[in-house]
Structure 1
Amino acid sequence: MKKNILLIVLLGFLMVMNGVLLYLVVKKPNQKERPPREFISNLLDFSEEQTESFMQLDRKHHRKMRGIDNELRELKEILFSNLGGTELSDEELDSLAKKMGELSTAREMEVFRYFRQIEEICDAKQKQKLKRIVSGALRPGPPGDRPPPPGGPPPR
Structure 2
Amino acid sequence: MKKNFILYILLVFLIVVNGFFIYNHMCDSTDRKPKKPQQPTNFIVKELKFSKEQLAQYKESNQNHKETMMRLSADIKNLKDVLFNKLSDVSVDEEAVDSITSLLGQKEKEKRISVFYHFKEIQKICDAKQKEKFAQIINDALHNKGKKDEGIDALEASDGKRKPPPKK
| CA distance, structure 2, for counterparts of residue 41 and residue 103 of structure 1 | 28
Question: Which amino acid in 1 is paired with 2:70?
Answer: R
Secondary structure of the residue aligned to 1:117 is: helix
The residue aligned with 2:73 is 69
Whether 1:44 and 2:51 are equivalent positions in the alignment is no
1:81 Cα deviation (Å)? 1.5
Whether 1:114 and 2:118 are equivalent positions in the alignment is yes
1:138 Cα deviation (Å)? 1.1
TM-score norm. by structure 1 comes to 0.66
Percentage of matched positions with identical amino acids: 32
Number of residue equivalences: 110
CA separation of 1:34/1:109 partners in 2, compared to 1, >3 Å: closer, same or farther?
farther
| CA distance, structure 1, for counterparts of residue 101 and residue 107 of structure 2 | 10
C-alpha distance after superposition, 1:7-38 (max 9, x if no partner): xxxxxxxxxxxxxxxxxxxxxxxxxx782532
CA separation of 1:120/1:136 partners in 2, compared to 1, >3 Å: closer, same or farther?
same
RMSD of Structure 2 on Structure 1 (CA)? 1.6
Whether 1:98 and 2:102 are equivalent positions in the alignment is yes
C-alpha distance after superposition, 1:94-128 (max 9, x if no partner): 10011001001000000000000000010001001
Question: Which amino acid in 2 is paired with 1:50?
Answer: Q
| Higher Cα radius of gyration | 2
Is there any run of 5+ residues in structure 2 with no aligned partner, and where? Answer: 1-36, 148-168
Higher relative CO (Cα under 8 Å, sequence separation at least 6) belongs to: 2
Question: Which amino acid in 2 is paired with 1:74?
Answer: N
Runs of at least 4 residues off by over 6 Å: none
C-alpha distance after superposition, 1:44-93 (max 9, x if no partner): 00001000100000000000000000000000011112213344411101
The residue aligned with 1:85 is 89
Within 5 A, what are the aligned runs for 1:127-142? 127-139=131-143, 140-141=145-146
| CA distance, structure 1, for counterparts of residue 86 and residue 94 of structure 2 | 13
| CA distance, structure 2, for counterparts of residue 98 and residue 80 of structure 1 | 14
Is there any run of 5+ residues in structure 1 with no aligned partner, and where? Answer: 1-32, 143-156
TM-score norm. by structure 2 comes to 0.61
